[in-house]
């Protein structure tokens, strides 16, 4: 199994995270270990429709919390789980990662409508998923996209990362494809087996 898989585990530990609306909610976090099984990577362990439906509802609640908190000029740190993902910060604008506590959302006060364009639940379990929303101004102009990695909690989800991309940067997003621990890992696993 590749080194990247060893960085993420199927085992979980309960840690405290919180959102603006649900202080001190408990979230599950990936811990170092053996990584997902081959059945995750080869597609035999695909998410169930019920897991997808739960993830959709949790992602929408979490994104509503994010938008509410982003309108308050105090930083976004409390909406994110307290760890880094892949060794960088948890909030990015057009590819530049910073700590969410120092972030300011450039679109939240200009957004009239958001539309979720995708949601992908990890093959390795329904606790991890990726969702993408497009934000539109009142005149219908596309402001950009929100590309988030989330992890299930009790009744909602915690954000692991949030990447904002202006329309000209949206093509730089990773493809929306099935994954086990992070987008692109199934393709890397298949390439390593060749």
pLDDT tens-digit series, residues 103-137: 899 999 999 999 999 999 999 777 899 999 999 99
User: What pTM did the predictor assign?
Assistant: 0.78
> Which H helix or E strand runs over 63?
helix 49-70
* Predicted confidence (pLDDT) at residue 75 exceeds the cutoff of 90: no
C-alpha dist (Å) from residue 30 to 24, 26, 33, 34, 68? 18, 13, 9, 11, 27
CA dihedral over 115, 148, 21, 9, signed as positive or negative? positive
Residue 76 to residue 104: CA distance in whole angstroms: 8
């Amino acid at each position: 199994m590749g080194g990247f898989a060893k960085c993420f585990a199927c085992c979980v530990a309960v840690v405290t995270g919180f959102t603006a609306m649900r202080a001190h909610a408990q979230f599950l976090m990936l811990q170092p270990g053996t990584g997902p099984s081959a059945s995750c990577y080869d597609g035999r362990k695909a998410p169930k429709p019920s897991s997808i439906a739960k993830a959709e509802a949790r992602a929408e609640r979490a994104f509503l919390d994010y938008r509410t908190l982003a309108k308050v000029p105090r930083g976004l740190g409390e909406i994110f789980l307290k760890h880094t993902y892949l060794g960088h910060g948890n909030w990015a604008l057009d590819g530049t990662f910073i700590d969410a506590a120092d972030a300011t959302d450039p679109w939240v006060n200009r957004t009239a409508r958001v539309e979720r364009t995708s949601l992908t639940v990890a093959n390795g379990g329904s606790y991890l998923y990726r969702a993408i929303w497009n934000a539109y101004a009142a005149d219908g102009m596309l402001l950009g996209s929100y590309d988030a990695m989330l992890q299930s909690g009790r009744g909602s989800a915690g954000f692991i990362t949030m990447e904002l991309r202006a329309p000209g940067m949206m093509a730089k997003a990773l493809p929306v494809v099935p994954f086990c621990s992070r987008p692109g890992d199934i393709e890397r696993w298949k390439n390593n087996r060749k």
